Structure 1
């Protein structure tokens, strides 16, 4: 496949009720019964949009392994959605990770999001490969491919991973992930659409031709968003901070502003030919549903009155 520019669609997507746009949604495994109720209400709300897949995250150091597996298995058993299970190689031997991979296949999961993962102490801490474990996501992707013919998605970083020495080194690692079996890259969140588009141009110039899907992160908690941005090296322009200034005690207005910011992101990217979007739902359906609607994605069946 010849390299494409950001103005050229990455795929010949067919979803979205004729819009030519496909969405996928990301959830995290619930910690409490109340959070589980919220999650499943969100899944029920978003399922009629026929997402390409829904992914379930995996906590730092494998801390949510059992809950991730339980959530993914329930999606397989109780819905028609196609789940993608996140998997990391932190704090585990190859044998332990391989057991998880096999258990996903046996449960009917056919798609894994392969990530190196963050250390148990969280984002920004120094990563040390586990003795006897997979060293990084490229090795993990290759290990998954050897066990079963999973579809494999991996992460990519529009402003490069904070631990990468350069953009070139970062793209070399993405190439290694592709060599290991990855067929899609999902981006770290970003604020400016041009940041993502420049990254796609850079990747295409480096000969990377798999779909590169923007990860859209609507703002929930502003302070938390800014902390994560700082830890991951994500640029936050002054205009972004200004839009949320003074809204700490006004969650309703803050939610409207957050939707407005995310809506601008997806509209600008769609105008430049991007046709796949991965939305970090934070386990809440409203903003994700609205963004999909703005992109022209409609329910496959009318919602009940």
Structure 2
């Protein structure tokens, strides 16, 4: 077992094929050897994987895994459907939820019954008082749909005030963005632990696309460096691993409460980073 002196957690997404399921089960088996605090499982745009999320969470619980936290978004259906899902989790001993507004699919004019994450959080606590521990997401570089940085802090505080235990950031490449976000949260009276979310770089085209979706700023020098490797995937992965290690080291030197890795259901890059940090 690798030893580390910081909180550690990993995000997975529900597999869509049997081949993807085999990959995920292999990934979780390799990553659980790092003794993480928890795994989380994503929900999908528009609640598109609501059933698959629950199936994946319950499948992971049948293995020798750490705590598994399902994502739940505002687009998870009607209040009755959401309560049914919460009860299913509770019946299986799952008392942690990662509550999100969720991504609105292209062409969808509105979200579900709950418009914002704070409303979903309030619903969870109303139906199950003192039962679920709620984690939320936050955007140190501002959500693409948020009009300003000040509004981002305001919306985040609304979620925190609804009752949360921790927050995890969207992935970023600029540690200054994370620490600047923490400073503004402190000024706003937010004292909830905020864990940085990190996505190891393994594919330039994919990571650039993800940045566009979630508003993450990729520094120009980093883009040029990755572009310079062309189709040399091995060099991209090696550079990406080295970059991610340095980023995590900067965060840990400043005493962050832990690191949450967006794994994309693959183990190698995350393993390489954590082993270097350990």
Is TM > 0.5 for Structure 1 vs Structure 2?
yes
State whether structure 2 residue 55 is matched by structure 1 residue 73.
Answer: no
- How big is the alpha-carbon RMSD for the aligned residues of Structure 1 and Structure 2? 1.9
* Counterpart pick for 1:62 among 44, 47, 65: 47
After TM superposition, give the deviation of residue 227 of structure 1 in Å. 2.2
Deviations 1:119-152 (A, max 9, x none): 122xxx776233xx11111111111222331111
* Counterpart pick for 1:202 among 175, 184, 189: 184
SS at match of 2:236: helix
User: Which segment is superposed worse, 233-242 or 182-191?
Assistant: 233-242
After TM superposition, give the deviation of residue 215 of structure 1 in Å. 0.5
* Structure 1 residues 143-162: aligned runs within 5 Å: 143-148=123-128, 149-162=131-144
8 Å contact kept, 2:193–2:257: no
State whether structure 2 residue 174 is matched by structure 1 residue 182.
Answer: no
8 Å contact kept, 1:88–1:117: yes
In the other structure, the counterpart of 2:273 is 291
In the other structure, the counterpart of 1:270 is 252
8 Å contact kept, 1:183–1:211: yes
SS at match of 2:265: coil
In the other structure, the counterpart of 2:210 is 228
Deviations 1:161-194 (A, max 9, x none): 2222222222222122122221111001111111
In the other structure, the counterpart of 1:138 is 118
In the other structure, the counterpart of 1:118 is 103
Normalising to structure 2: TM-score of the pair? 0.93
| Counterparts of 1:116 and 1:284, CA distance in 2 | 26
Instruction: Name structure 1 gaps, 5 residues minimum.
Output: 1-15, 297-305
8 Å contact kept, 2:166–2:193: yes
In the other structure, the counterpart of 2:80 is 95
8 Å contact kept, 1:62–1:88: yes
| Counterparts of 1:127 and 1:115, CA distance in 2 | 18
Normalising to structure 1: TM-score of the pair? 0.85
| Counterparts of 1:221 and 1:102, CA distance in 2 | 39
In the other structure, the counterpart of 2:224 is 242
8 Å contact kept, 2:74–2:101: yes
After TM superposition, give the deviation of residue 42 of structure 1 in Å. 0.8
Count of residues in correspondence between the two structures = 276
User: 1 or 2, which has the higher helix percentage?
Assistant: 2
8 Å contact kept, 1:76–1:109: no
